[in-house]
Structure 1
Amino acid sequence: MSRSGKSRNAPSLQTSIPAGAVPLESILCTEELHRRPSRPPDYEKENRALVKLVSALADSPSTILQTLAETILDITQCDSAGLSLLTTDGKTPDVCGKRFYWPAIAGTWNPHVGGGTPRNFGPCGDVLDQNRTLLFRHFERRYPYLLPVIPAAEECLLVPFYVAGEAVGTVWAIMHSDRRKFDAEDDRVMASLEKFASSAYQALIHIEDLEFQVSEREKAEAEVRELARGLEAKIRRLVEANVVGIVMWNLEGAITGANEAFLRMVQYDNEDLASGRLRWTDLTPAEWRGHDERAVADLKATGIFQPFEKEYFRKDGSRVPVLLGGALFEGSAKEGVAFVLDLSQQKRAERALRRSEAFLAEGQHLSQIGSFSWRVATGEITWSEQLYRIYELDIGVPVTLELIRTRVHPEDVTLLEKMIEEARDGSTDFEWQYRLMMPDHSIKYMHAVAHATRDQDCQPEYIVAVQDVTARRLTEEARDKARSELAHVARVMSLGTLTASIAHEVNQPLSGIITNAGTCLRMLSDDPPNIDGARETARRTIRDGNRASDVVTRLRTLYSKKDLSPEWMDLNEAAREVTSLSLSELRQNRVILRHELAEDLPPVVGDRIQLQQVILNLLRNASEAMSRVNDRPRALLIRTERDEGDQVRLSVKDTGVGFTAQAADKLFEAFYTTKNDGMGIGLSISRSIIDAHHGRLWATPNDGPGATFSFAIRCRPEGLEDPKTRVS
């Protein structure tokens, strides 16, 4: 809060108010200050107090705050007085501090020096939030953490305390009894003392800052003197250590001295140096001489030349890349010294990095994977070239979230917004799939994986890999379509083998219709006509007609050809429909069919036709597995039950020949069969159907003869509404 009244730190208090705390208004009595009888001003005493504060500032600046507290105690005749300062480090006033501390207290509360109150819920915070003087009565009724501070405060007068125009604390006076009450004169005196104390405290800060600067300057000068004393020795050690190349030269082009590091760099020796044949002008390739000329010009103008890269010829004619910088000797216009760093290893690393980047770019191009980084705090987004190609944007165009939105499919923009919101809320890894709509309205399918990390400023940053999976998605759709076609063919072939059973199922109601129709005609021909009997016979005719219609409807459903269409369905009912179509064939094969269908079975979500195809395949396989069994009953059990993990299981158990351990791993492979006339696609298709339903299909040998084939699917997958709560 500044003196102008604008809040710079006004946190919400409601979230911190404990249960049972009284409202702020119930403990404020500020307006009473100017209604109470006021004592006359004592300017002489006030002036003595100011003189005491000035003396404290001059003689003992560090005690200025305690002197202020004692002065308030003396002038207002209160029981306790002190200061509260906002701080972050427990010492330095800070307008953004989270807690007040009490650096000085006079009177009864003096033992509590060093204590404090929170910024967001306390009387000092109230004063800063309202930026005015406040008078409290028994503030512990609102702030229960002050209850242990004894004796309790009957009244407390608090005045904002400013430093450099910012409210960083309060000056306060407390009465622990009702022997006197604060009045308008106390308010005036407290405000006057606060202004003086504010100026004095700022002066104290400046004094301490000046003392620190003087101390630091003296320390720096001592370090410079020490550095100067050892500089010559350090330079000599540097030259002799041969860590970097050191060369002495003149502007005519001669090299007058050099250490071993430089000589090894250019493959010369001390004899070459002593002969005078070693010249920096001869070591410089022609294309680098322009750089040397600019360095010489800088030397003549300023006495130094800034480091720059160039190349030197080696003795064998090869080149060495170097970093060169130097200066003229003091007092000399033609001679100087330079350091030379061999950049060969750095250049090799740079070439390797460029090669690696080229490999990465080509790898991203071949795999259709782009990458980018996103600094959440600043919104800075950096894309790889491949990602520009995927999004079909010009390479180098500044990337923003808004630009990305223009490419995202309209139906997936909500998904993008949710991803951005989650990324801003927390630094966690995540992945998502979405679509792009290109300018020509073509669709691309994307799969992105994001890894959360921190940048050099410890701010959240995401590294994201984005793969264009359009080709894979189209391949999967083509595969699913082919699988659906194959499943339809298998379904038709399975139903073709049930021709006799289907004919029997249709013939039975048709025979009933013919018989009932004849009976109805005879009853109507009687004299008198038997109307009631004819009516009942007609009802039976309609019943048999409906039975025949149901059979045809089930056949048409199983013969139908359509995409996966999940819906809520009763697995028991689906199983009964399939067994009713297969019943005649099972009886013909002397199979004893038994049902154990759970009565409390919950509905499942699935494609009714495809799941019935799986049941039909399992029934037929079980029947065929028992076709050569003659020494025991051909028993077939179809069972439904709840399974673990909110799933429903359907099992088909037979007493057939079973399967060997070697065949167990191949049962569900395409075109694997143990039958002479089998194609080996039934179980393979069945597994693909169950996989598409996010379930599992498996086989286990029985304890006795035969095997059990089972599948389990989920009852309530995400994304579909529960039929029990669905509103029609």
Structure 2
Amino acid sequence: MRSPISSLERSAPQFTIGSIALAVVTLACLYLHAHFAATAFAYLLVVLLFSLMGSFIASSALCIVAIAALAYYFAPPAFSLRIDDPQDLPVVVAFFIASIVGAHLIGKLRQEREAARVVAAKLQRSAADLEDREKRWRAIFEHNPAMYFMVDEAGIVLNVNTLGATQLGYPRTELIGRSVLDVFLEEDRAFVRECVRTCLEDVGQTRTWDVQKVRKDGSVLWVRENAKAMLWGDEQPIVLIACEDITERRRTELALLRSEAHLAQAQELSHTGSFSWNSATGEAFWSRETFRIFQLDPETVPPGPQLVVERTHPDDRASVKEIIDRAMRDPSDFEHEYRLLLPDGSVKHIHAQARATRTASGEVEFVGAATDVTAARRAEQQLRRSEAYLAEAQHLTHTGSWSWDVHALDFIYRSAEVDRLFGFNPQEPVSIDTIRSRIHPEDLPLLQQVQRQAIEHDEERFEYDFRILLPDGGIRRIHSVAHVAVGSDGNVSELIGTHMDVTEQHAARDRLENTLGALRESEQRFRDYAETASDWLWETGPDHQVTHLSEHTSAAGILATGLMGLLRWDIACDVEEEPEKWRQHRATLEAHLPFRDLVYRTVSRTGSPIYVRTSGKPFFDGKGNFLGYRGVSTDITATIRADQAEQELRKAQAELAHVTRVTTLGELTTSIAHEINQPLAAIISNADACLGWMGREAPNLPAARSSVEWIIEDAIRASEVIRRVRALAKKGEIEMVPLDINEVVKDVIALVTRELVSHRVTLRTELTAGLPMILGDRIQLQQVIINLVMNGIEAMDAVTDRTRELLIQSSKDDVGHVQLAVTDCGVGIAENDADRVLDPFFTTKSNGLGMGLSICRSIMEAHGGRLSMVHKNAPGATFQFALPLHKEAVS
């Protein structure tokens, strides 16, 4: 309602003034006797002029008033609103339309001008506001307590605020235009480049990362960077990076981590673990040391009171449950001790102490510590045991302990052994005068002098000898050691000491002197042993130069004086041959870390190469300053040469195995020739047949095609025989691959079939299907099986009273290994030879070398298997071997 009322309020003045103007025009026109059309034009001008004041309502009202004035004063008949002249009516209509349309157009124009003025004012205000905002954001960019970088997609700095440049020690102009990667560590630049690339791939998405920046002076600070990619005015992407200095935070985090590590180390050293337990929620926390004490894995076992009960010794479990239940009913501090029964059967004594606290939510939480006091309890048991042992030891060593009151001149305490030393029964009361009567009269003044000196506090420790006169007339020599005890008043109150029977020591002194001479001779003998050993000690300084060597390095052919001041890599001769080994060794030395078993080659005084194994450990002074290394070196030349000889031996064994395979091939020549000739003969027959089919007047192409297919099959069969022979004859490295033992057996059968036929031997196989894969060298396993088959064939040459049958069986043994057995029905192995049949150079053949089975055993051992002979009651012999499964078959 406010808008129409406001419009009427603005229209009233316009209508009033317009009406006055129309009245004035009317009077003027009446006075001048103006024509009807001229008067209408004058009225139109008045209406249009007043329409500029802004109210269409007022203009419309003035138009109506003007029409009434025209009709009343100027249209005949005068002074009447009726218009009789038809020529005047179009003028009135034209006047009305022109005034209304003109007023409307002028109003629209005025409104548009007003709107344009308002828009211009708004634009002016927006421009001022934008300029003010730009100044404000520029001030924020420049003076914000954070580093701001603006970089393009190539990583070039477009802008940087003053704080960012100042923090890095640069002027702004020096950073703008440079690559932003220049202010990062070399090893972090790839990471930063990847972060910027990620921001550019997802425009508008904020990314955050922590990284180190390098100041101009080379110092480093940690920053947390928040980056966002956005499109610039020309639609080019830029990355705005805000950097927060978190150097102190990182230092605090590192200090916290170090503190946690120190706490964990302290707990480990003190065998004390911490824990917390919320009795309301059941939530619990154990430190790593607590898990270690309970021998539990923190990654898999959740902590809690129930876990404590489960680990508690059965005898203590009821008391532990009672304490836990009482803590849940009445939240108060508790302290108790119990035993743990660990899975390995060992027992630990635990002292637990907890304090009840309130959390922020008002819940009760127990915070405490569990200490492994096993050592203390054992020490207490040991102490009680030691007290008994001490009494027994005093009796056995004839040593008594005592305490003497220097003022009352009487014993405060004396052990039972003291009475025994003086020849009294410990169970009978003895007066001090009676005891004095047993001391040799010549020694009483010495004891009195000791008491006097103790009172005067001339000395704090006394050591003296005296004699005791025994009732049987014997003399007992006593060695006494005592020290003064000072009371709270600063005066000596008592003497505490021991009496030791040294009668036997005095008697043995002469024997001791003789023994010392023998001991010196023994010490020199062991010194000679140490100096002639192959190990020698060495020491280097902080610059890693040799500063000390044992004098007996000459045993290894090394002159100690010639190595002083040299570096280890100056002594070695294999630095250029093994640079990586020496680089790692030098890095270990620079890091001041211990090293073990570094092996290098050097030369002796005579120029011959020797091999040295050395180990060392850094040592430091009291302030932690590095002083050098100390260690021990050993001449391992003999060991290295033995390893080299063993490698040569293995090479010779491989050569011998190859020779054996070739020899076996020679023995199988007839079989191999038969296996090749058979498919070759078939090829010739099929080729002749093919020519016959093709030579007919009407060639029989299907039959000829079948002949060609048979030729191809026979050629492949011959090729397979040649491939197997070449593989056996080939000399190469062992190739361990997954194998099916049944397939290996089938390859062997193809090679020995002719030998079986020529020796009239029947082959029977019992190959278990579905055996798991083994890992082995196909050629070497074929060699073993061929050797066992050929031995079985030869063992049955003399058999005439029964069928010559050879049995090959494959199966799994009791431990899951793949097992292969070759059984013949020949003459067998004599009982005396059974234990030696696998030894090198042992043979039962007249023309054998005795190496076949020995080589087979070596091949089996190299495969992790075992070759053995099975004793049987029936005629013949059985040799079998077992091989472990391939790891994939096991899994």
TM-score (norm: length of structure 2): 0.39
Computing the radius of gyration from Cα coordinates, the structure with the larger value is 2
TM-score (norm: length of structure 1): 0.47
**Higher RCO structure, 1 or 2 (CA under 8 Å, sep 6+):** 1
